[in-house]
A and B are shown apart, each in its own frame.
Chain A
Amino acid sequence: MPRLSAEAEITSVPAPAAGRAEVIRTEKLTKVYPGGVKAVDEIDLGVYEGEIFGLLGPNGAGKTTTTGMLTTTVIPTSGRAWVGGIDVIAQPALAKQVIGVVPQTNTLDRALTVWENLYYHGRFFGMSAKEARAEADFRLEQFRLTDRAKMPVLALSGGMAQRLMVARSILHHPAILFLDEPTAGLDPQSRIALWEILGQLHAQGQTILLTTHYMEEADQLCDRLAIVDHGRLLALDTPGALKRSIDADTVITISADGDLDRLAAMLRDSVAGVDNTQQVDGSVALGVRGSRAALRDVIAVAERGGYAINDISVSEPTLETVFIQLTGKDLRD
Chain B
Amino acid sequence: MTTATAPVAPTPAVSLRRPLRPTRAAAITAFKALLLRDLTVQRKNLKEFIPRTILQPFLLVFVFTYVFPRIGTGVGGGGGRAAAFSTTLVSGVVGMAIMFQGIQQVALPMVQEFGYTKEIEDRVMAPMPVWMVAIGKVVNGALCGLFSALLVFPIAAVVPATPVHLHVNWPVLLTITPLACLLSASFGLTFGTRFDPRQVPILFGVILIPITFLGAIYYPWTSLSAIKVGGFSWLKWLVVLNPLVYICEGFRAALTRSPHMSLWVVYLVMIGFTAALLYLGIKGFRRRVLS
Contact B16 A25 (CB under 8 A): no
**Residues of B contacting A172 in the complex (Cβ-Cβ under 8 angstroms):** 18
Contact A13 B40 (CB under 8 A): no
Contact B37 A85 (CB under 8 A): no
Range for the number of chain A residues in contact with chain B: 35 or more
Tell me, rounded to whole Å, the shortest Cβ–Cβ distance linking A119 to chain B: 9
Chain B 242-254 interface 0/1 with A at a Cβ cutoff of 8 Å (1 = within): 0000000000000
Alpha-carbon gap, A210 to B117, bound state (A): 23
- Give the most central of B23, B34, B45: most A CB within 10 Å: B23
Stretch at the interface among A67-75, A223-231, A233-241, A280-288: A67-75
Tell me, rounded to whole Å, the shortest Cβ–Cβ distance linking A154 to chain B: 10
Contact A103 B121 (CB under 8 A): yes
**Interface residues, chain B, CB within 8 Å of chain A?**
1-5, 7-27, 29-30, 33-34, 36-37, 40-41, 44-45, 117-131, 282, 289-291
Q: Is the interface of B mostly helix, strand, loop or mixed?
A: loop
Stretch at the interface among A54-62, A106-114, A137-145: A106-114
Contact B8 A8 (CB under 8 A): no
Contact among B3, B41, B290 with A91 in the assembled complex (CB-CB below 8 Å): B3
Q: Is the interface of A mostly helix, strand, loop or mixed?
A: loop
Tell me, rounded to whole Å, the shortest Cβ–Cβ distance linking B12 to chain A: 4
Stretch at the interface among A123-131, A182-190, A257-265: A123-131
Stretch at the interface among A16-24, A289-297, A301-309: A16-24
Beyond A7-B22, A93-B129, A96-B125, list 6 extra A-B contacts (CB 8 Å).
A33-B291, A49-B15, A73-B289, A85-B7, A120-B37, A120-B40
Tell me, rounded to whole Å, the shortest Cβ–Cβ distance linking A1 to chain B: 6
Contact A21 B40 (CB under 8 A): no
Determine the residue in chain B with the shortest Cβ distance to A207.
Answer: B14
**Residues of B contacting A126 in the complex (Cβ-Cβ under 8 angstroms):** 21, 25-26, 29-30, 127
Contact among B1, B45, B131, B290 with A5 in the assembled complex (CB-CB below 8 Å): B1
Tell me, rounded to whole Å, the shortest Cβ–Cβ distance linking B16 to chain A: 5
Alpha-carbon gap, A72 to B23, bound state (A): 15
Q: A11 at the A/B interface (Cβ < 8 Å)?
A: yes
- Give the most central of A14, A19, A25, A93: most B CB within 10 Å: A93
Contact B7 A124 (CB under 8 A): no
- Give the most central of A49, A99, A123, A174: most B CB within 10 Å: A123
Interface positions, chain A 46-99, Cβ under 8 Å from B, are 46, 49, 68, 71-75, 82, 84-87, 90-94, 96-99
Alpha-carbon gap, A19 to B14, bound state (A): 12
A-B contact pairs, 29 of them (CB 8 A): A1-B282, A2-B131, A4-B23, A4-B24, A4-B129, A5-B1, A6-B3, A7-B23, A10-B8, A13-B12, A14-B13, A21-B15, A22-B14, A25-B10, A68-B291, A73-B125, A75-B291, A85-B9, A85-B13, A86-B7, A96-B127, A97-B20, A103-B118, A109-B123, A120-B40, A126-B26, A172-B18, A173-B18, A175-B16
